[in-house]
Every structure is written in C-alpha cells, then in structure tokens.
Amino acid sequence: MRTFIILGIFIVNIHTLSAQKLVPTDFSFRSMVVDSTDSTYNNMRSNVITEIIFPEDSVVWLGTGLGVSVIRIRPDTITVETLPDTTGLINSPENSQGTPTNRLPQDGISAMAFRDQGRVMMLIAFAGSENDIPVGKGIAYTTNATEKNIDWLYDNQPVDNESYVEYKFAFGKMAILPVTVPQANVTYDAAFSDKFVWIASWAGGLRRLRLLGDNGLPDTDPLRNFFWDPVPLPMDDQFELNTCVDAIIYPDSTWIEVENLEDLTTYWLLRDYYLNPRDPIDGGNHNHKAFSVLTYGDTIWVGTANGINRGIFGSGDCINWQHYSYPTHGLSGNFVVGLAMQERQDGKRIIWAATVNADDPTEQRGVSYTADDGLSWNTALLGERVYNITAHDSLVFAATANGLWKTEDGINWATYKPAQQAIPVPNTAIYITDEVLANEVYSVAFDTGDTSIWIGTGDGVAYSNDLDGLNWKIFRAEYDINEDYAYPNPFSPYTHNVIGGDGYVRFHTNEWSGTFVIDLDVYNFAMEKVFAGSFDRRISSSGALKWNGRDMQGRPVDNGVYFVKLTYPENQSSKPYPHWVKLIVVK
C-alpha cells in the first residue's frame, strides 16, 4: 500500500507498509481508563506505554499515549503523576524570547532520551495523526529533568525551509530535497552523543542538534527555534559514504569543488549525492527514512527503511558510514524499528536490531545482531514482530507482538507469560489476582538500580524484580476507584486488550470487602441474558474481572448496547446486590 503525502512544495511518496506501525493506529492514541492496585496516588492518563527510561534512582519516566507519566518509588509510597501539559503550546510566543515553559504538548510520546552528566538533559518527541497520517507534534528539551520544577524548551517539529536545495554539512554542503511540513515527519527515536542530540524522524531523516558547551543548552536562533541539521546517510545503492575524506588531498573522491556564481567564491559539495526521502520509484531513498538511532563513544548506528548504518565520527563533525541491508549482509529484513547495545562483562559488545520485512517478499520479521561491528550478521526470532530490544550483561529482552522474550545466547529464546500480579489482602494470608490483558509488548527496559525488568503495553506498564516474571506490579490509568465502569467503552473484541486470540473488556468495581466473588451477567438491549459467569479473585486462573464479548456458546455477540450486572456486597455485613454498567460493543 502506498500513501501520497504533500510535503510543502513537493510530493513525497511514503511507503506505508503495515509493518511500519510502531503501535496500533500509529499515534492516534486514546486513553483507556483503568484502576491501579499499587499506588497511593495515580494520575496516569493513558495505558498505551511506548517509552520507558530511568533518568534517576527509583524514578521511572513513561512515554504514553497522552503525555509523560512519572512513577516515583519510595520505601513507604508509590506515586504516579503526569507532567503538566496544554493543548495550546507552540514555540511562539511562549518561548519566542527564550522563556522556558513548565508545560508539554498534549500528545502521544513517540521518543524519549536522556543523558546524565552532572545534570540530567532530556529530549521528548511528540506525535499525533491527521486523517490517518502520522504527524510530528514537536520536541521538548530540558537540562534539569530531575529537579522539582522542570523548565522545558519547546520547538515545533523540525522542518526545512522550502528554499533549501543545498545544506551545510561538515566542511562542505550537500544537495537535499527539503521536508517542509510535519506530516509523515514523526520523530520515532532519539539519542545523545558528546556534542549532539540525534533524532530519527522518518520523512525528516536523521538530524542532529548541537549542544552548546557543558551547560547542555541546544543551539537555537533568537526566536528559540532549534537548529536541527539534516545529516547525510548513504543512498540505497551505496554500501559506504565517507564524508571525512580530505577534499584538498583527494579532490576527485567524495567532495567536488563548486563555484558560487553569485559571489564567485567556491565551496565543497558532496559528489553525486542527493538527500531525498522519497521512495526509490520517485528517485528517492528508503535509507533516508530514519526510524531508530543509537550512539556511544565515536560511533552512531541508524536504522532506516533500507537497513542499518554504522557511522564513525571524525574531525569537523564529519561521519564515515557503512551501510548494511538485506539480502547482501544477512539481515532478516530491511525495515529497522529498534536498536540496542549489549555490553557484556566479558568485554563483548553486540548490536541488536529489530528488523521487519519491507519491500522484498523474502524478507522476514525478527531480530538481527552483530558481534563484530557489522562485519557479519546473525538472525533470530524469525517471524516475530519485534518492537523494542534492551540488554543487560548476558541477558537480552525483546518486546514483540506475541509478548516478551528473553535470551542469553541469541539462539535459544524463552517467552514470558502475560504479566500477572498477586496482590496481598491486608491482615490476611489471601491474595487477589490482577493481569495485563495484552499479548503485545511495545516497550521493554532494564533498571540496573534494582535489577528489575519493565514492560509497556496497551494495558498499562508492569515491572518485576523476578527476571523469570513470576510476579509483576502493574500500573494503569485510573478513572474513579469508587465507581463501577467498563473499559474500554465502546469495546471491540477484535482490537482491545487482545490476549490468547480474544479481546477483553475489563470491569472495575468500587471498593468492596464483603466477598472475593463477583457474579457477572451480560444482557442485550432486549434484556435477554447472553453471558453468565462468576469470578473469584483469589484464584489466579480467574485473573481480572473481564469478558471476551462472546455468548455462552462461545459465539461473538452482535454490535450494540449491552447491560452488565455485577453482583457483589458493599461490605462484610451486607448481602450481594446488583450493580449495573452499560457497555457498547463495536466490532
């Protein structure tokens, strides 16, 4: 499938393969309000968790479908807050005089990155959608992310001036096709190096922002617009691009000397090069559509729609690139949606990539990895749709459409069961059960502080100190702990909370203590009973209080309005009585 998108003064033909969706419906997120069993204070607004980072001890930052949430874990309390946001934030006039703001845009989070060098610098990218087209909604940056009052510098999604046909890079210039609007120009990943912060922005390609000195402030113009410079990547048919070649000594290699006819001066131009994110059928390059980025030391890795690029930084801020792609170099697929570095205690370094099938029908989904800086590549988890990868010493974790996977050798992988939590009932030896209703795991992160594994799903975030995942703690957005309700509502059994082939609607009851058993009856609009069940929350097989949208014969119910009767007592001294919830089923 191809989608034609107008980008400023030209048309870019963006290849919108189904494999290119980071999460369902891209970044057209909606909040699915649910209860939280772990926190004394919970202000999460969305259960779609796409990013997890740990900028300080006992503090977890979450990129969600509706802003940034922060979990603070203390010995006696756990709190969850969502950072202040606003629907009207733009880079002018709030920041037109360089005045920071304490608010963020009210959009989905598409990328987060931080660096800790005495002060914690952080970048957050925002995204949404317009008419089913992904749209970049801007970037926020701060140098005091761990302080009580955070000052954000905000900038609209990086775009080019329509007059740009050549753009500076290193000690010369390169020819570019300008990307002038935020449509299809979403920032999907970000990373810090010593001198720059880097973003991978799909139609916007790879871009970098220079950090000024030790204070970490971004390079901006007087109107507080960030200078996001496009960075050349090899064209699709190039296996290397060496921009660090000395043009004076080797004038006929990478650079050519060009005369400026306006002032009769000369400058160096990348020879036979054009930075163009259009599809190859329109003269462009899939390798100029960036999706993931990883940096360390003098090295940068970039995943695109045409493979993986390894760059080595040189003097004058130039980069020498090696380009790896399917089938030449043994990747499983050319669309690279995630990158991670594994540093083992034995000194071995492995680069992992989540690789997805792109154009070639023989490509496969899975992971691709190299233990020799790209000289050779291996593949694993073939057939799995991998969203995200993280590693710690000998352990590697992959977040996939079929759950969380773990390996210690890259060959033998084990899959986790969906996260469940056993919640102790105070002053008893009884536990009640909660569960994440989602096979898909969008994000995974390892907290070295307490050696815990965290996962982000469409049904909240969960973490476990047990690396075998036998018990988890689950956090979700909260609606009202004193009300009975169904969520999501309307409910689709084909798309919501899909686990084991079935989609589920979850039911929340008010704070009851009379019994652990709840009877659930579902009636259609004619008040005919279509389902009857009973849940004992002390039994792990019962899991959450939920319904899969099927009748008592196992057949999917029709679209329409349903009435759900939840029967339970208000307290220990009262008898069970019905609590009614209206539910809309839309398939």
Q: Is the pLDDT of residue 93 over 80?
A: no
Contact call for residues 67 and 46 (beta carbons, < 8 A): yes
pLDDT in tens, 427-437: 667 777 888 98
Q: Is the dihedral of CA 206, 392, 298, 245 positive or negative?
A: negative
Residues linked to residue 456 through DSSP beta bridges, in sequence order: 443, 461
Which segments of 416-541 are extended strands (E)? 420-424, 431-435, 441-447, 452-457, 460-464, 473-475, 485-487, 498-499, 502-503, 505-508, 517-523, 529-536
**Residue 143 one-letter amino acid:** T
Rounded average pLDDT over 460-478:
88
- How many whole angstroms separate alpha carbon 230 and alpha carbon 227? 10
pLDDT in tens, 183-234: 999 999 999 999 999 999 999 999 999 998 777 888 887 767 889 999 999 9
pLDDT in tens, 508-539: 887 655 567 889 999 999 999 999 988 887 77
Q: Would you tell me how many other CB atoms lie within 10 Å of the CB of residue 449?
A: 12
What is the per-residue pLDDT for 92? Answer: 40
Contact call for residues 467 and 454 (beta carbons, < 8 A): no
DSSP output for 166-221: EEEETTEEEEE----SSBT----EEEE-SSEEEEE-BTT-EEEEEEEGGGTEEPB-
Q: Is the pLDDT of residue 398 over 90?
A: yes
Of the candidates 345, 439, 435, 346, the one whose C-alpha atom is nearest the C-alpha of residue 399 is: 439
The more confident residue out of 79 and 237 is 237
For residue 283, give Cα distances in angstroms to 280, 308, 568: 5, 20, 66
The CA-CA-CA angle for residues 435, 439, 442, to 5°, reads 105
Of the candidates 185, 198, 199, the one whose C-alpha atom is nearest the C-alpha of residue 26 is: 185
- How many whole angstroms separate alpha carbon 207 and alpha carbon 223? 20
The more confident residue out of 42 and 10 is 42
The more confident residue out of 369 and 546 is 369
Tokens representing residue 361 in the block: 């029908």
What is the per-residue pLDDT for 9? Answer: 27
pLDDT in tens, 312-322: 999 889 999 99
Percent of the chain predicted with pLDDT > 90: 52
Strands 240-242 and 266-275: unpaired
For residue 397, give Cα distances in angstroms to 384, 391, 413, 466: 13, 6, 9, 14
Q: Is the pLDDT of residue 110 over 80?
A: yes
What is the per-residue pLDDT for 334? Answer: 95
Q: Would you tell me how many other CB atoms lie within 10 Å of the CB of residue 359?
A: 16
What is the per-residue pLDDT for 18? Answer: 30
What is the per-residue pLDDT for 433? Answer: 81
C-alpha dihedral, 158 to 161 to 165 to 166, nearest 10°: -60
In the DSSP assignment, the letter for residue 525 is T
291, with CB counted inside 10 A (0-12, 13-18, 19+), is: buried
Q: Is the pLDDT of residue 245 over 90?
A: no
The CA-CA-CA angle for residues 214, 215, 219, to 5°, reads 100
What is the per-residue pLDDT for 518? Answer: 87
- How many whole angstroms separate alpha carbon 118 and alpha carbon 300? 23
- How many whole angstroms separate alpha carbon 386 and alpha carbon 407? 14
Q: Is the pLDDT of residue 88 over 70?
A: no
The more confident residue out of 478 and 578 is 578
What is the per-residue pLDDT for 285? Answer: 96
Q: Is the pLDDT of residue 13 over 80?
A: no
Percent of the chain predicted with pLDDT > 70: 86
Tokens representing residue 112 in the block: 């987060």
Contact call for residues 587 and 492 (beta carbons, < 8 A): yes
Q: Residue 107: which pLDDT band, with cuts at 50, 70 and 90? A: confident
Contact call for residues 276 and 175 (beta carbons, < 8 A): no
